[in-house]
Amino acid sequence: MAEGMRIHGEKITVSTKGFSDVRNITDQVQQVVAKAGITEGIASVFVIGSTASVTTIEFEPNLVEDFQDHLEQLASQKKKTRHGETWGDDNGFSHIRATLMGPGNTVPVAGSDLVLGTWQQIVLIDHDNRSRHREVFVQVIGL
């Protein structure tokens, strides 16, 4: 590891409603970056679980609804899946959505701040078919 390089990681917990509920976690991730004391580096943001995603979006109510509508077109919760038949939990759609989007994202850190566009926020999306308490692991690496 390069001289002066540091790593700091911690979990944040987010309560969700499921069904592709979108939660803005930008401030919580920024708090982890500030706590890490790292001024230049990267922040890795990773949701623990196979039915949720982390990405960036403009967190605006109408866009969030548009996004949810498009997810429903891609992987409808109404369409039966073999996974639902296997486990009886009818959440196959949530696994498909999460797989398509991925569990994490990496954001640059410069001047102790996340490098995000004006209308860009980090969001957690819980695709499961019930409410949950999601754990997101944030790991900051840098100088």
| Sign of the torsion angle spanned by Cα atoms 67, 108, 112, 54 | positive
φ/ψ of residue 16, rounded to 5:
-135, 170
pLDDT higher for 3 or 130? 130
Match domain 6-142 to its CATH number in 2.60.120.460, 3.40.50.300, 3.40.50.970, 2.60.40.10.
2.60.120.460
Which 3 state secondary structure label does DSSP give 7? strand
**Measured between alpha carbons, how far is 85 from 27 in angstroms, rounded to an integer?**
39
pLDDT at position 49 over 90: yes
pTM of the complete model: 0.96
Which 3 state secondary structure label does DSSP give 65? helix
Q: Where are the domains of the chain?
A: 6-142
- DSSP one-letter string for 103-141: SEEEEEEETTEE---TT-EEEEEE-SSS-EEEEEEEEEE
pLDDT at position 1 over 90: no
What is the percent of the chain with per-residue pLDDT over 70, rounded to a whole number?
99
Residues 6+ apart with CB under 8 A from 68: 20, 22
pLDDT at position 132 over 80: yes
Tokens of 117: 């566009």
pLDDT higher for 84 or 103? 103
- Evaluate whether 100 touches 4 at the Cβ level (below 8 Å): no
For residue range 107-120, list pLDDT tens digits in order.
999 999 999 999 99
